[in-house]
């Protein structure tokens, strides 16, 4: 009975945390498009570096991840980290905290400030390039980055990222899927991106394009090769 009661309590708490997380994530998403002061951005980085036992790094603030890459003297020597992806985790921790769960207050506050101030970093031990917050940020109901009519994330200098239900895609797939070529869709290596490519292009149109390509090949390929490719050579009489 005790175990069953505890399971019910855990399930109710989980449900409350999930509902609260969705609410907080919506609030954080709006807040993430409000720019932070430069001093707060630098402090957020310094606190994380101190927590990791490193010295205080030099911090350069840029308008986007692309601007960070351009500002680096040797980008290939720098590690990259998208702390923007931790917004959902921050929302979950904040929801748990508001519902009475105990958290390490110091670590929570450092993590909160870091996620709120530093959406993207390129760094070495002594040098950090950090992007300002985006101007736009969109999620679906499952807290996944998503916008099927524009950029999922747009930064102050215009640089953007594109995502459909958490799957990173390019601008063409979102804004002009009808311009995709058969080669782009057929040869896409990532299965999730391929699925989205075809769905947004239109499954029937894609199947028709494949069929048309097959008909063209039948007209162009020599008959002996054609028989082999389309089902094997005919048996000799």
Span 24-56, pLDDT tens digits: 766 666 666 777 899 999 999 999 999 988 889
What pLDDT is recorded for position 215?
57
What pLDDT is recorded for position 18?
72
What pLDDT is recorded for position 233?
42
DSSP assignment of the chain equals: -HHHHHHHHHHHHHHHHHHHHHHHHHHHHHHTTSPPPHHHHHHHHHHHHHHTTPPPPEEEEESSHHHHHHHSSSGGGSEEE-GGGGHHHHHHHHHHHHTT----HHHHHHHHHHHHH-S-EEE-SSEEEEEPPPSEE-B-TTS-B--SSS-SEE-TTS-EEEEETTEEE-HHHHH-GGG--HHHHHT--SHHHHHHHHHHH-HHHHHHHHHHHHHHHHHHS-HHHHHHHTT-PPPP-
Query: Region 76-93: what's the mean pLDDT?
Result: 86
Average pLDDT across the chain, whole number: 83
What pLDDT is recorded for position 237?
39
Query: Region 171-196: what's the mean pLDDT?
Result: 94
User: 65-74, 93-102, 104-113, 154-163: which range is least confident on average?
Assistant: 93-102
What pLDDT is recorded for position 143?
75
Asked if the model's pLDDT at residue 84 lies above 80, the reply is no
What pLDDT is recorded for position 151?
96
Taking the whole predicted model, whether its pTM rises above 0.85 is answered as no
Residues in a beta bridge with 169: 162
Query: Region 210-224: what's the mean pLDDT?
Result: 60
Inter-residue contact 122 to 69 (CB < 8 Å): yes
What pLDDT is recorded for position 98?
83
What pLDDT is recorded for position 171?
97
Distances (CA, A) of 76 to 46, 49, 69, 81, 222: 23, 21, 9, 13, 49
Inter-residue contact 60 to 130 (CB < 8 Å): yes
């Amino acid at each position: 009975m005790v175990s069953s009661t505890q399971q019910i309590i855990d399930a109710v708490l989980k449900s409350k945390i999930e509902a609260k997380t969705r609410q907080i994530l919506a609030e954080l998403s709006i807040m993430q498009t409000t720019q932070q002061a430069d001093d707060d951005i630098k402090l957020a980085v310094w606190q994380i570096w101190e927590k990791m036992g490193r010295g205080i790094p030099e911090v350069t603030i840029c308008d986007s991840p692309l601007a960070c890459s351009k500002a680096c003297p040797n980008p290939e020597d720098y590690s990259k980290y998208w702390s923007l992806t931790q917004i959902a985790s921050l929302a979950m921790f904040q929801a748990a905290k508001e519902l009475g769960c105990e958290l390490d207050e110091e670590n929570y506050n450092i993590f909160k400030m870091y996620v709120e101030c530093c959406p993207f970093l390129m760094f070495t031990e002594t040098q950090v390039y950090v992007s300002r917050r985006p101007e736009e940020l969109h999620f679906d109901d499952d807290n996944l980055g998503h916008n099927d009519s524009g950029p999922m994330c747009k930064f102050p200098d215009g640089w953007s990222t594109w995502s459909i239900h958490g799957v990173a895609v390019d601008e063409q797939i979102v804004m002009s899927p009808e311009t995709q070529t058969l080669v782009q869709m057929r040869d896409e290596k990532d299965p999730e991106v391929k699925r989205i490519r075809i769905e947004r292009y239109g499954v029937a149109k894609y199947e028709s394009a494949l069929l048309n390509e097959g008909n063209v090949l039948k007209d162009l390929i020599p008959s002996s090769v054609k028989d082999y490719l389309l089902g094997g050579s005919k048996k000799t009489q």
